Structure 1
Amino acid sequence: MELSGLVRALRLEGPRDEQPPPAEQVLLQLGLLLSQGPGGAGVLRDLAVLIEAADGQWLFGGRSPVALGELVATLSGHAAPPKREQDAADLPGEDNAYAATAERAADVGAVFLRLLEKLEAAKAQESLGVPVVGPILGRVMGPIYVFAATHVVERPWTNARSQSVAQELLASLVRAADCGSVAEFLRGKDEDEEGRFAAVMGILKQELTKDTWKRNPATKFVFSWTLPHVTRPWLGRYLERVLPPSLLISDDYREDNKILGVHCLHHIILNVLLICASSTGLRSCTTRCTTTSIRERPLSSRVGAHWCFGENTSRITQISHLTPNQAVLLCLLDLLPILERARRQQKLPRPTAACDEVLQLVLTHTEAEHRLALRRVYAKALPAFVQRLGILIARHLKRLERVILGYLEVCDGPEEEARLGILETLQSTIEHAWPRMPCRLPVLLKALLRMMWDVHTDRGSTPEPVKAALLQGATQCLILLDRCSEGQVKVLLEGVYSSCEENRVRECLRQVQENA
């Protein structure tokens, strides 16, 4: 293979009988070439050829992993998105800079692929093997993973080529670590084995502080893409590393950052805090903590410090003042049981549960909301609240009934997400609070029949499958109402059924008569 261009660039020519220059010297000068001048693409291509052609003993044998680790760090920095000095969604000239970043990333990824292939081959060499290759892999896997996670999905600084290389690189990392998946690569093969997540978070830590997390636009995405791969019981040992950046991102003024942070918090709640809320879970999680600093402080105190918000549960309801979206509301639902357990353990007085307080606030906003986009968000979240409260939803029936009646009246567009969500809410409410339904039968029956007629006569853009779903949802509500009212719906619908000439509505009423 022709390497004369690279040799001239490194100024390492010499008599043919001389030994090749030390690997450290070559790698050091390559790093300098990348950081000091243009022509990076040519250097990267030559480097890929050099690694592929080099003897494994020359490249790895008897060498400290530090040189390779520094080269990997230099290459990753060479392909990183441009740093920002200000917080903005788009900066002037950013598109061109991102396009150049994607091309550099594809070239750097190709070099990393050659390096991992060479390390894999070196494992089988008698003179090298795992004793030599293992420390090198331990040094380079973390930085290479962060690089791959930066470019693996569609972002402003990626293109099809860079994404493809990053995906191939992740697969190569998984193989090199003798793992079966990215999740196993990060967390370890079993509960007692520590994966590479600690090393990854160590790299991200310096860029996930209050003053730095917005300078590199990729950092928050690398963190949020990586976090879901680490689940219980492994995530508990990293609580102090993952909770602060999640809170930091969710506390930002920009809506996209709030949502991203809430998704991270929700994952932590489901995989750490819900388990640790019980005394047994606390003991189990504390046992799994591995560092001295974590062992010195019981996990119960750390969970309480971060999540119980002192003695005033009104702090909890402030979360629902975030920009309303599905992520926030569902995250709240899973957070509330933790707060309730904490209050019971502290024997604090509580006239109403935290979930009741939040639902009261949600219903207040839901009832008064006229913007269709937010009506859809609230309507799709209400069924989960009803399921969580169970029979205790009876405390909120008066206000919930007003919301149901109001939302059944209004068509909210082709997909009818608000109406479908409200029908699901009504079904769940009937199932849980059925003894309180007969007294509400007249108003609910009238609202359901009116909605069914509106859907049947709608000549707008609502697709037929959506209409069918609405009619089926209303029919199911009528069947449930009939069962909890001892057949009153069936009696009241007899006259309607006999006088109805519209086949579609008549078929729904027939189902009620036969199935109720």
Structure 2
Amino acid sequence: MELDSAREARPQEGSSLSGEWSRSALGQAFSKILHCLTGQEARLGKARDAALKDLGALIEDTECDKLFEGSGAPLRGMPEILGQVAKALEKYAAPLKEEDSRGEGHNQVAAKATEVGLLFHKLLGKVEASKNSLVCPEWKTSLRHLAGPIYIFAITHSLEQPWTSPRSREVAREVLTLLLQVTECGSVAGFLRGENEDEKGRFTTIMGLLKPDLNKESWKNNPAIKHVFSWTLQQVTRPWLNQHLERILPPSLLISDDYQTENKILGVQCLHHIVLNVVVLLCLLDLFPVLEKAQQWKGDGARPTTHCDEVLQLVLTHMEPEHRLLLRRTYARHLPAFVKRLGILTVRHMKRLERVITGYLEIYDGPEEEARLKILETLKLLMQHTWPRISCRLVVLLKALLKLICDVARDPNLTPEPVKSALLQEATDCLILLDHCTQGQVKGLLANIPQSCDDTKVVNCIRKVQQVSEGAPFDGT
């Protein structure tokens, strides 16, 4: 393939800008290579080989600030073009459909993968060099476009499969190692889920790239896809996997439903991982009534302890000392379901529930306040189901709710207004329920607050409690 127009735009040898490209010429050069890799020309071996050779030269020749420049081409920036090139390279190196991979097919795929892997290695090397450059801040944008396709390539060819060779696996693993280095991730799990709670991770991006090849019509066109999906899925555990259920469950069911035993096993492994790391508690709650049919209470003596009691006791044991916000949110998300299932029998766990509820209400939970909202929901259910045991806990619960209302009302920046409103409303509903459970004691204890408090939000919450207690209808009980 000739890149005449692009090469004409390059500076002459010996000039101070030797080795650099003009913005438009560089964009045109990459666009032509992309067209050659994805268009009709891709079927012609010579044109494709020339495109790959030109791509290697372009990567080596181009300075980082030009290579990752945000406005390097008309209509599209270089980061997006590089991302499209990376996707094309990943597809080029992908293994053939099983029935098409006869004779030398697997050897050809391994050779392609080695060639593409070396190109990815060069490209990631440029990104790594750009990280220390003050004149090239756009490398982060380029990396966002490159990371997904390069990851899929690396996993496709680093696992021992029929379409890989020792050399292609070695190159793919080197690419994966460099990708983790460039993205400053200590592991593949960290790359996918994020290295810390504030980082989003790239699991959603990877699943989005795999999705077109994971439907009923297409998932067998590339024999590597199921393995990349399965291996990637199993790197992400709880609580990070919870938010991705709608992305991971359909492909797992699709693979497990296949007639081939190998695929059935792979799909079941995916489903097993999902159950263990996403829906295990809810699944257990559905299974308990079946498992406990033989333990029906006949009214003589104390009710037997159930599996649900044992699991809730274990959950509360882990909840109480937990300080990591992601795990606190996960535990709190499931707590209301246990109270609903146990009903009045939740009194068996009152002391520990009280400590968990008051402890979790004290801690700010991030912008969405998911944990504290779920704990307030749990408290409402607890008072509804165990109201005869609430009076003796009046002081503890009242202090915790008032402190929460004051903290939220006085929070100037951290929490969005809709979330603040939801917290204040839920806390007010809890105060109203607490007043009902204690025959109006809350109303008496709060009587003087409106006169001595100058915070409008706090006063409004107290007045709502007083108004409902005086006879206005309340739909929370």
Return the TM-score normalized by structure 1: 0.50
Equivalent residue, structure 2, for 1:366: none
The letter of the residue matching 2:116 is: V
Gap change, CA 1:135 and 1:263, over 3 Å in 2: same
- Is 2:39 the partner of 1:38? no
For the 8 Å contact 1:285–1:299, the answer to whether it is kept is no
Gap change, CA 1:345 and 1:149, over 3 Å in 2: farther
d(CA) in 2 for partners of 1:41, 1:299: 55
C-alpha displacement at 1:169, in angstroms? 0.8
C-alpha displacement at 1:53, in angstroms? 2.5
Equivalent residue, structure 2, for 1:320: none
Equivalent residue, structure 1, for 2:199: 193
The letter of the residue matching 1:116 is: L
C-alpha displacement at 1:45, in angstroms? 3.5
SS at match of 1:262: helix
C-alpha displacement at 1:344, in angstroms? 6.7
- Is 2:74 the partner of 1:66? no
Gap change, CA 1:215 and 1:286, over 3 Å in 2: farther
Moved more, 40-49 or 144-153: 40-49
SS at match of 1:12: helix
Equivalent residue, structure 2, for 1:294: none
Equivalent residue, structure 2, for 1:237: 243
The letter of the residue matching 1:20 is: W
Choose the corresponding residue for 2:56, options 48, 69, 72. 48
Q: Which runs of 4+ in 1 moved over 6 A?
A: 278-287, 298-301, 341-346
- Is 2:112 the partner of 1:104? yes
SS at match of 1:253: coil
C-alpha displacement at 1:115, in angstroms? 0.7
SS at match of 1:229: coil
d(CA) in 1 for partners of 2:70, 2:101: 46
- Is 2:101 the partner of 1:77? no
Choose the corresponding residue for 1:117, options 125, 128, 135. 125
- Is 2:165 the partner of 1:162? no
Equivalent residue, structure 2, for 1:249: 255
The letter of the residue matching 1:72 is: A
Alignment of 1:88-99 (within 5 A): 91=99, 93-99=101-107
d(CA) in 2 for partners of 1:342, 1:262: 31
d(CA) in 2 for partners of 1:161, 1:148: 13
For the 8 Å contact 1:41–1:107, the answer to whether it is kept is no
Alignment of 1:395-474 (within 5 A): none
Gap change, CA 1:59 and 1:250, over 3 Å in 2: same
Gap change, CA 1:92 and 1:193, over 3 Å in 2: closer
Equivalent residue, structure 1, for 2:156: 150
SS at match of 1:186: helix
C-alpha displacement at 1:29, in angstroms? 0.9
For the 8 Å contact 1:76–1:143, the answer to whether it is kept is yes
For the 8 Å contact 2:157–2:168, the answer to whether it is kept is yes
5+ long unaligned stretches in structure 1: 1-5, 85-89, 290-297, 305-340, 347-516
d(CA) in 2 for partners of 1:10, 1:237: 49
After superposition, give the CA deviation of every residue in 1:373-425 in whole Å (9 maximum; x if it has no partner). xxxxxxxxxxxxxxxxxxxxxxxxxxxxxxxxxxxxxxxxxxxxxxxxxxxxx
- Is 2:264 the partner of 1:258? yes
d(CA) in 2 for partners of 1:108, 1:78: 8
Gap change, CA 1:228 and 1:95, over 3 Å in 2: farther
The letter of the residue matching 1:12 is: A
After superposition, give the CA deviation of every residue in 1:40-87 in whole Å (9 maximum; x if it has no partner). 3443244223212211122122432211111111111211122x4xxx
d(CA) in 2 for partners of 1:175, 1:143: 16
d(CA) in 2 for partners of 1:26, 1:16: 11
d(CA) in 2 for partners of 1:262, 1:15: 56
Gap change, CA 1:92 and 1:81, over 3 Å in 2: closer
5+ long unaligned stretches in structure 2: 13-19, 72-76, 286-311, 320-324, 344-477
Equivalent residue, structure 2, for 1:430: none
Alignment of 1:320-335 (within 5 A): none
The letter of the residue matching 2:107 is: A
Equivalent residue, structure 1, for 2:278: 272
For the 8 Å contact 2:239–2:327, the answer to whether it is kept is no
d(CA) in 1 for partners of 2:187, 2:229: 18
Return the TM-score normalized by structure 2: 0.54
Equivalent residue, structure 2, for 1:313: none
Gap change, CA 1:212 and 1:288, over 3 Å in 2: farther
SS at match of 2:30: helix
The letter of the residue matching 2:69 is: G
C-alpha displacement at 1:255, in angstroms? 0.6
For the 8 Å contact 1:34–1:43, the answer to whether it is kept is yes
Equivalent residue, structure 2, for 1:484: none
SS at match of 2:278: helix
Gap change, CA 1:234 and 1:11, over 3 Å in 2: same
d(CA) in 2 for partners of 1:98, 1:345: 57
Gap change, CA 1:95 and 1:186, over 3 Å in 2: farther
Gap change, CA 1:107 and 1:139, over 3 Å in 2: same
